[in-house]
Structure 1
Amino acid sequence: MRSKREPRTDGEATRSRILEAAGKLFSMTGYAETSGKAIAAEAAVDVASINYHFGSRSGLYQAVLFEAHRRLVDLADLQQLLDSPLAPPARLARLIERLVDEALGEPRGWHLHVLAREVMAPSSHLHTLIRDAVGPKLAVIKRILSEITGIPVDDPALLRCLISVGAPCMMLLVGGSHAPGPLHEVFRMPRQAIVDHLVSFALSGLETIGRDYARRTR
């Protein structure tokens, strides 16, 4: 295994440069309106380099989506959080705090813009992203929620809990500070107030659902 301190090869550096250039352009103009030629010019490579490293523009966009989601939340970080000595409610609080910090960060990275575009106008790549990148991460989060509620990970009730906890964070991440209406007002609030509210709201709801589930299944 290569040492983490070993410099990247020229090929790895070129691939990374293409990925960054594509992420930047896809975030601004979207997949359909971003040509391979424009990406190549931004990355200072030829179009053949895109095909060499990613197979096609479509393959490059898929790689950009995966990298965007990794930057939002990495599977290894989630697994480390799951295995940490923190109590389950504290693990969830740490995750919510991480997502709020991503949403409030300025300037917003291209990864958030790319993901927001894909959510608002899904392409044929979204299914693959959910299956291969999002799915494994949701499985880890469901285990944390299961520990909090006592609901088995394969029970539909836990999926509803996942949606209820995740939806407010997704609104912040997708909408951004320039969204009109109430969401814009939320972005003007103190960061800690937002975190504390989302954590308290989530844990209170999970406690209630867990208690109801235990009563029904006795």
Structure 2
Amino acid sequence: MKTTDKRAPRTDGEATRKRILTAAGELYAEHGLAETTNKMVAQRAEVDLASINYHFGNRNGLYQAVLGEAHRRLINLVDLERIAHSDDPVEEKLRQLFDYLVNRDTRQKGQWPIRVLYREVMSPSSHLLTLGENQIYPKIGMIQSIVSDITGIPANDPALLRCMLNVIAPCAMLHVVSQFELAPAQRLSAMPSQDLVDHLYRFAMAGLAVSGEHYRAKH
């Protein structure tokens, strides 16, 4: 009698992939890319090396996946799209953006995603370009649309990039200083998040209003 061997599809593939990502992220955060081998990742994730190659192709593929996952956990494109495409007044969108970024930072403090990204930014590799294309630039585009609507400056005008710097830089600095146990950083961390949100919003709105007026006066 002829029999057929029908193997049931694996249902734990995604769970294994997530376990590898978490293990790799923790190790990259602790030791950096150069000092972390796939063997170390496999041991922590309790998988074999073949599983890493199956899910990520190679060491570079794994690191890029970790960077992408870290950035997604820190700033999720879906969340930014929800804010940018809502029917709320554009000023309220900016406040929601700061609220999202500040409170997202509080939840991520001390966790591996922010530490992995900090390592990559402070000592950038070629993988940062890939992260920019896949994660950073689309998210900047969402913020750009909000800032453009507030100032009236077209999205393709260099003047808008200067405005973007004033909006994004303070939030980025919150992530950076959270990595240090310095007195100013500790005092910032101890502040009520809503106070930080209100300050960043007022500061940004004042600057964006002036920038918009300056742009219209020149054009």
Of 5, 8, 11, the match for 1:9: 11
Q: Which segments of 5 or more consecutive residues in structure 1 lack a partner in the other structure?
A: 1-7
Counterpart code for 1:150: G
Choose 1 or 2 for highest CA Rg: 2
Are the equivalent residues in 2 in contact too, given 1:177–1:187 (CA < 8 A)? Answer: no
Give how far 1:97 is off: 1.1
Q: CA-to-partner distance for each residue in 1:76-126, whole Å, 9 max, x for gaps?
A: 221121111111111111111111112223653211111111111111100
- Pair 1:115-2:112 in alignment: no
| CA RMSD, Structure 1 to Structure 2 (Å) | 1.6
Cα 1:190–1:77 change in 2 (3 A) is closer
Counterpart code for 1:15: R
Q: Which segments of 5 or more consecutive residues in structure 2 lack a partner in the other structure?
A: 1-9
Partner residue in 1 for 2:55 = 53
Per the normalisation by structure 2, the TM-score is 0.91
Partner residue in 2 for 1:102 = 104
Are the equivalent residues in 2 in contact too, given 1:102–1:173 (CA < 8 A)? Answer: no
Are the equivalent residues in 2 in contact too, given 1:151–1:210 (CA < 8 A)? Answer: yes
Partner residue in 2 for 1:5 = none
Partner residue in 2 for 1:4 = none
Per the normalisation by structure 1, the TM-score is 0.91
Number of residue equivalences: 210
Partner residue in 2 for 1:68 = 70
Corresponding residue SS for 1:105: helix
Partner residue in 1 for 2:200 = 198
Partner residue in 1 for 2:172 = 170
Q: CA-to-partner distance for each residue in 1:12-66, whole Å, 9 max, x for gaps?
A: 1111111111111111111111111110011100111111110111110100101
Distance between the aligned counterparts of 1:12 and 1:187, measured in 2? 35
Distance between the aligned counterparts of 2:121 and 2:162, measured in 1? 19
Distance between the aligned counterparts of 2:214 and 2:131, measured in 1? 34
Cα 1:192–1:209 change in 2 (3 A) is same
1:16-31 pair list within 5 angstroms: 16-31=18-33
Identity among equivalent positions (%) equals 50
Distance between the aligned counterparts of 2:69 and 2:51, measured in 1? 19
